[in-house]
Structures are given as structure tokens and as C-alpha cells.
Homo-oligomer: A and B are copies of this chain.
Amino acid sequence: MITPPDDSPTISCDAEDDPPASAPPGPLSATQQAEVAEQRAEATPTRRVVAPALEEVLYQPIPVLDRGFIRVVDYMGDDAAVVQAARVSYGRGTKRVSEDAGLIRYLMRHRHTTPFEMCEIKYHVKLPIFVARQWIRHRTANVNEYSARYSILDREFYVPAPEHLAAQSASNRQGRGAVLEGAEAARALDVLKDDAARAFDHYEELLNEDAAGNVMDPGRQGLARELARMNLPLNTYTQWYWKTDLHNLLHFLSLRADAHAQYEIRAYAEAMAETVKRWVPITYQAFEDYRLGGTQLSAAGLAAVKRMLAGEQVSQPDSGLSKREWRELMEALGRAP
């Protein structure tokens, strides 16, 4: 978020409308829900292309994790816009649906990416800071984040659901193993909740301002917002407007909806994937067929497949593949290693 000066229009924080920390009813306060409802109530005629299934959920928050959400706040183009750009056409540029689908699938298969850049989408996202730090690595996007230099953050932090509280993987240094249970799980949740609660208490004390915006102690000045925020933990929720084109969004999904992605960002990617299906169904189907559902064979992997198809018995040692590569190949081919 940007920070207007002292003599600029006031930006109200609506802090009074936020749910009390003790009983969060859901990601949006009543005031926020009313604002969303008001946005959704209006419809205006446009000459632009419209994606009806996406309009249905426009502005509507889709819950992710315990207190986060995504919501589509604007979009531009649809499947036909991909075709239109690929044809550099004067009119709609589309033919029969089957022809358009054939062209879109051809473009996806042969990685002709520029026509997919002709569609654009904008999300409002509420997410924990540690997820935001992974997300922001995707550089071909536009971002406006809520500013904790200028405003005071809400008392909202992510605590994993019990089924996502996993141990460190023994085999994969950046993966998860079994779910924690019993006392260890309980203790972990307690630590996360207590430390976050204390950090927020101290954040307000440092600011010398409570959640309702009242000065706590008139005898103190209060630490600058840009400094006080450093006491908050990485599971604090932030929010941003995030805008990107369809090509870069699919690339984001291919990495972040993948099984290797951390669960918490994957949850966002999966919710976004549903909105993409509504927006550009033909493109999304092609994406599933040619990217998500397929596999990449290395030179040595391809050579091994050729030998196997020719009836040879091939084993890891004589395949030229490392143990790990061999295992990955057998998994991709649905065979026992």
C-alpha cells in the first residue's frame, strides 16, 4: 500500500470493523462483506469480451488456509482473446469452437506463449508473510502490498491445521514427513499461538496503540510503525493486489500447484486454478493435457524408454541414469523401480 502524506485524503483503516481476536468468524468482517456485496451487485454494459463463469465469482473471497483468501477483482480477455491475438485479427478472429480449441491446443503444445500473454487477471490475496516471500519471487507480475510502514497490521496469523503439522522429511531436505501427533503436536501449536499472541501484544505496546486505535499510555510516544513491525512473526497475515498475464499465471501454477511446492502456497495455487478454469476453460484443459499431466524425459531417459519398447530389459545401472533419476522415471511410467 502506498502512503499518502499528511495533507492527502485520509485512508481509513476500518480497524474497528475487524473481528475480535478471540472469535474470528471468517476471513472478512461484516463491513468488508458489505463492501464486496456492493461491488457484486452492480452490472454495467461493456463492449469488451466477458467471461460469464468468472463473473459469477468476481470479487467473491475464496477461503484459503485458516484466515486467508483469494478473490478475482478484475480480468481482461478470455479464450477467444488468445485466438484473436494469435491471428492478429480485425474482428473477433474466432471461428468455430472446435477450430479455436485446436489452435489453442496447438499453441500450448508448441510453447507459443505470446498469445497467452494477451489475457490479464488481478487478484486480491490475503496470505501469511512466509508465503508472500515465496510468491514474490515470480517477478513478471504487478503488486501492491498493504504497507506496515504506513498502517497497522491486523492481529491475524496462520496456525497450521493439525493434519498439516508435519515432521521434517528424512529423505528430502526441503520436504515434509509424517504428521506430528500427541504431545509434540500439541506443544508445537501452543508455541506458534503463544509466540504470535505475545508478539502482537508487544507490537501494540511498542506502537502504544490498541486494536481500536486508542493510545494506550499517554506518557509514551510509541515506536514508529516501520520499526514496530519487525517484532511480528513470519506467519502474520498480509495482503496484496497481484496482477499478471495468463502465460505467467500458468507458469506460476505449474510450479506452485505442484506436489513439490510447500503445502501453504499450493493451497493458494489450487484455489486460483479453479478461477482459471472458469475464466479460460479451453486454455486450462490444454494446460492440463500438455503440462500438468505429462512428463519430461531426459536424453538418457528417452534412450531407456526406446530400449524398453524394443523389448530390452533395462535396469538402473545400465541405463546411464542416477538412482534418483531412475526412480523418478519409473514413477512417471507407473512401473516398479
Mark contacts of A127-138 with chain B using CB atoms, 8 A cut-off: 1 yes-contact digit, 0 otherwise: 011101100110
Asked if residues A46 and B50 are in contact (CB atoms below 8 Å), the reply is yes
A116 closest partner in B (C-beta):
B142
Report the minimum CB–CB distance from A300 to chain B (whole Å): 7
Contact A195 to B202, CB < 8 A, known contacts A55-B46, A294-B302: yes
Determine the chain B residues whose CB is within 8 A of the CB of A299 once the complex forms.
Answer: 288-290, 292-294
Q: Beyond A8-B106, A174-B150, is A168–B207 a contact (Cβ under 8 Å)? A: yes
We find that the number of chain A residues with CB closer than 8 angstroms to chain B is 158
Q: Which residues of B contact A223 (CB under 8 A)?
A: 165-168, 180, 188
Known: A44-B50, A174-B226, A231-B233. 9 other contacts (CB 8 A): A2-B115, A4-B173, A9-B99, A11-B87, A88-B239, A109-B298, A118-B122, A150-B174, A306-B334
Q: Write the A187-212 contact mask toward B (1 if CB under 8 angstroms, else 0).
A: 01001100110110010011100000
Closest B residue, CB atoms, query A144: B85
Q: How far is the CA of A4 from the CA of B173 in the complex (A)?
A: 8
Cross-interface CB contact of A176 among B180, B224, B306, cutoff 8 Å: B224
Q: B174 touching A191 by the CB < 8 A rule?
A: no
Would you call A48 and B75 a contact (CB within 8 A)? yes
Would B227 and A230 count as touching, CB distance under 8 A?
no
- CB–CB A142/B117 < 8 A: yes
